[in-house]
Amino acid sequence: MEKTITYFEKPGRDNTVACLKIAKKAIEDERYKHIVVASTTGETGLLFSETLKVSSVNVIIVTHSSGFKEPNTHEMPDAVRKKIEAHGAKVFTGSMLTHSIETAFAAKFSGLYPTLIVANTLRRFGEGSKVCCEIVMMAVDAGLIPEGEEILAVAGTAKGADTVLVIKSAASKRFLDLRVLEILAKPRV
């Protein structure tokens, strides 16, 4: 089989619209049933949910956990969350699998722990690739997408989207079953 991969010259939000087009085409061509999109402030989530609202795809927007930046805060405003949900998408806020308790231990005791090793290994393919793997497992863990299916995942580096992957989904408990099947787009750097 031959497929096209888009490589972006630079990571970041400037690639968001291109990622949306790539994901939309993949949904139309391959009939994917589920797409999981990372969105911190909701800007990317709003764009994807609005564009895909007329499709039959299950759109899941995954945010940072509450208190990620500072205690008792949410980075996605409630008004944006409500707009995304009004488009028929689901918004999930939960702990990032490679950035939770072990990050606290690493900061306190200056060590490197297994999930941080996993995170840094996945980052060799780009920040967006790491996040795509995380958000798919988070969505499976939350019961928002099925396990063992091909899922479109979209994430980015800092802001916006710059990575689109096809991932065979797995729960975090079965992390070693998760597979990156295809890279549709990613930054080359």
User: Using alpha carbons only, what angle is made at residue 13 by residues 11 and 14, rounded to the nearest 5 degrees?
Assistant: 85
Query: What would the mean pLDDT of 104-123 be, rounded to a whole number?
Result: 80
Q: For residue 115, what pLDDT is reported? A: 82
- Under 8 Å between Cβ of 184 and 166: yes
Quick one: DSSP state of residue 51? H
Average model confidence (pLDDT) for the chain?
92
Q: Could you tell me the domains of the chain?
A: 6-63+73-187 (3.40.1380.20)
What three-state secondary structure class fits 148?
A: coil
What three-state secondary structure class fits 132?
A: helix
pLDDT > 70 in the chain, percent: 98
- Neighbouring residues of 99: CB distance < 8 A, sequence distance ≥ 6: 115, 119
Query: What would the mean pLDDT of 129-138 be, rounded to a whole number?
Result: 96
Q: For residue 100, what pLDDT is reported? A: 66
Kindly report, residue by residue over 76-93, the tens digit of the pLDDT.
999 999 999 999 999 999
Q: For residue 109, what pLDDT is reported? A: 81
